Structure formats: structure tokens, C-alpha cells
């Protein structure tokens, strides 16, 4: 039963159109030449894999901030949040998570709270692993008002091959940590800006699981973590 659940992962609703297009293209290619049909079948299987939307077990203790995306922690540094969010120019702790084309691309809300601001900004399509992607790439920025009065920001950033950002959140909407809120196609990055003084509890190179991996504790006083490959 557990093996079956691991294989039969739900598919995000936005993926079915793409899967259908890939499948039809595979049939057409197969009619032209059988090897092309097999290549199309592989591409269709990858498309199904890309749009998978597995359930996640979300830690529910108040104050925990969870990863908004699957992927690798690309960088941890301090940087001003996107100016369009109106959070000021002071640098805040920022965790950047890079998603490759094989990661789950369904994004999840990092903490309980209320959406205080939402802003879409067109931009460039630099490789999302580059630091300049946070400033120059197309992005969807969100400001989250937390129950304790503080705020965090999280930003969906389009990457080199990503050409669409989907965000279902509205200003004034109450959200819970781990809720699905959007998706980025295909390969991208998500930045999280923590409140001043809050230490990231992850390390560069660490793999994130959206909705499950705890990246910060708003109620804790643990120092920033270090990590090493073993």
C-alpha cells in the first residue's frame, strides 16, 4: 500500500493540459517514426513527474517557519526585501532555495499569518542559481503578517527556463503553514526573508522538502546552523 502511494502521487491541476499536449505529440511523433514516439513517451513521463503534488506532513507548532519549496539551499545571506513590498531597505536574513527541473514545483506557505501585500514584477530570466536573479528576474513577491506582529516575505522567482509563475494568494487572505499556494514552471527559485534577528536553521547545500523542513523558529534562540557534507 505504501509503495502504491509512493508511485501514484497526485498531479497538480495545472499539469494536465501539458501532459495531454505531450501525449498527443508523442502519438504524432510515433506515427512518423517509432523512435521519435518513444522519445515523446519519455518526455510525457517527465511532464507527469514534474507536475506531481505529493502530500506533506507539516509541523504545526506555532512559530515554526517551513520551506516554501523543494530544492537545495543555494545561499543564506542578509539582503533587503523586494522594495515593492514596502518592508523598508534594511537587510534581513534571506534563505534562497533553488529548484531544478526534477524537483516538485508546487510551492507552500512558510508560516501561519495573513497576506499583507502581493506584487508581481516582470523581469529577466537569468539562471535562478545566480544571486542576481533575486533582483533582476521576473518575480511574485508576498509579505506575510505573522500572529506575533512581525512579518516575513517570500518570493517566487522565474529561472532560465521558467516562463510562468502561478500564485493563488490574495491580500487579506489568512493562510496556514504548509498550504499550497502556487507553482513555477520549469526550474526556478524561492527566497524567504526572515524577521531581523531570526537565525536560519538550515545550511547551504541542504535539501529542502516544502511544507516539512523547518527553516527557522520564531520563538527559539538557537544560533544559525552550520553544515558539512559527510
Cα(93)–Cα(83) distance, integer angstroms:
15
Work out whether strand 71-79 and strand 92-99 pair parallel, antiparallel, or are unpaired. Answer: antiparallel
Q: Which residues are catalytic?
A: 188
What is the chain's percent helix, strand, coil content, to nearest 5?
20, 35, 45
Crossing angle, helix 34-50 and helix 15-32, to 10 degrees?
170
Q: In residues, how long is the chain?
A: 230
C-beta of residue 193 within 8 angstroms of C-beta of residue 153: yes
End-to-end Cα separation, the chain, in angstroms = 33
Cα(125)–Cα(27) distance, integer angstroms:
32
Identify the three-state secondary structure at position 159.
coil
Ramachandran angles phi, psi of 108, nearest 5°: -130, 150
Cα(84)–Cα(101) distance, integer angstroms:
28
C-beta of residue 17 within 8 angstroms of C-beta of residue 10: no
Residue whose cell numbers read 500500500: 1
Amino acid at each position: 500500500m505504501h509503495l502504491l502511494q509512493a508511485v501514484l502521487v497526485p498531479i497538480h491541476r495545472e499539469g494536465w493540459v501539458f501532459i495531454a499536449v505531450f501525449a498527443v505529440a508523442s502519438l504524432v511523433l510515433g506515427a512518423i517514426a517509432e523512435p521519435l514516439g518513444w522519445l515523446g513517451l519519455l518526455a510525457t513521463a517527465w511532464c507527469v513527474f514534474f507536475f506531481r503534488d505529493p502530500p506533506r506532513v507539516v509541523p504545526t507548532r506555532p512559530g515554526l517557519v517551513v520551506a516554501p519549496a523543494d530544492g537545495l539551499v543555494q545561499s543564506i545571506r542578509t539582503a533587503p526585501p523586494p522594495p515593492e513590498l514596502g518592508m523598508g531597505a534594511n537587510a534581513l536574513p534571506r534563505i534562497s532555495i533553488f529548484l531544478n527541473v526534477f524537483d516538485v514545483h508546487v510551492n507552500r506557505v512558510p508560516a501561519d499569518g495573513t497576506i499583507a501585500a502581493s506584487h508581481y514584477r516582470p523581469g529577466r530570466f537569468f539562471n535562478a542559481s545566480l544571486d542576481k536573479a533575486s533582483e533582476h528576474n521576473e518575480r511574485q513577491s508576498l509579505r506575510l503578517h505573522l500572529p506575533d506582529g512581525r512579518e516575513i516575505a517570500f518570493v517566487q522567482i522565474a529561472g532560465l527556463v521558467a516562463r510562468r509563475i502561478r500564485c493563488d494568494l490574495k491580500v487579506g487572505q489568512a493562510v496556514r503553514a504548509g498550504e499550497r499556494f502556487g507553482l513555477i514552471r520549469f526550474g526556478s527559485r524561492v527566497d524567504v526573508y526572515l524577521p531581523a534577528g531570526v537565525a536560519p536553521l538550515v545550511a547551504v547545500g541542504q535539501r529542502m522538502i516544502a511544507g516539512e523542513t523547518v527553516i527557522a523558529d520564531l520563538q527559539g534562540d538557537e544560533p544559525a546552523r552550520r553544515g558539512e557534507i559527510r
